Amino acid sequence: HETMERLYKDLNYAKLNPLYELLSFYRARWEQEWTEEIIIVRKEYTAGHYQAVGERCINDYYQRYHPFNQTRTLGIEREVAISLPKDHHLKGYMDRLAQQSDGVYEIHDYKTSGHLPGQPDVDQDRQLALYQIGVQQEFRDATQVRLIWHYMAFDKTLMSERNQQQLEELQHSVVELIKEIESAKEFPPRKS
């Protein structure tokens, strides 16, 4: 995430980092942040394996999107406030908010998961759709918003769009979920 943030922050200042600089940044951050106290659950892999996957992800993304002029970045790690019915409010942070030259807004999320979902899964995802509600509340010209997930380990990009009816249904279901949580008396753990 920090490497993607670095890439797009520098692009906003007309600096296109060469791939080797981004990889150097990633390696330096890895060295600063890695400690032996970090537990690797999958014993068949080492820290070096995970670092190599990260480098491959950066390389793949760079090759796919270079020279990164498909959209204009409006925000990186940008806070979004979402107002819901019945005076409920949520807050989130978008990895990247961008806009295409034709006015379409894009909400980008960078996933490092080892699991690649299918299209039905992202079409039901609440997080980015909630961000869309917040973006449309903030930007009146955001009539079309594209939700984009970058599954970095697979070099795959999944997209979804929601219409106003779907967003209204989502708001209703989230308010119902908030009521259910607020009225709960017990919070049993779920083994995972």
Read off the pLDDT of residues 65-107 as tens digits, 9 standing for 90 and up.
999 999 999 999 999 999 999 999 999 999 999 999 999 999 9
Could you tell me the two tokens for 174? 């989230």
**Residue 28 pLDDT level (bands cut at 50, 70, 90):** very high
Please give the C-alpha separations between residue 49 and each of 44, 53, 78, in angstroms, as whole numbers.
Answer: 10, 6, 31
Give percent of the chain above pLDDT 90: 93
Report pLDDT for 104.
98
Could you tell me the two tokens for 94? 């978008």
Report pLDDT for 136.
98
Query: 106, 73 in Cβ contact below 8 A?
Result: no
Report pLDDT for 155.
97
Answer whether residue 187 shows pLDDT above 90.
no
Report pLDDT for 138.
97
Report pLDDT for 192.
74
The pTM is what?
A: 0.92
**Residues 46-69: what's their mean pLDDT?**
96
**Residues 161-173: what's their mean pLDDT?**
97
d(CA 97, CA 105): 7
Report pLDDT for 191.
82
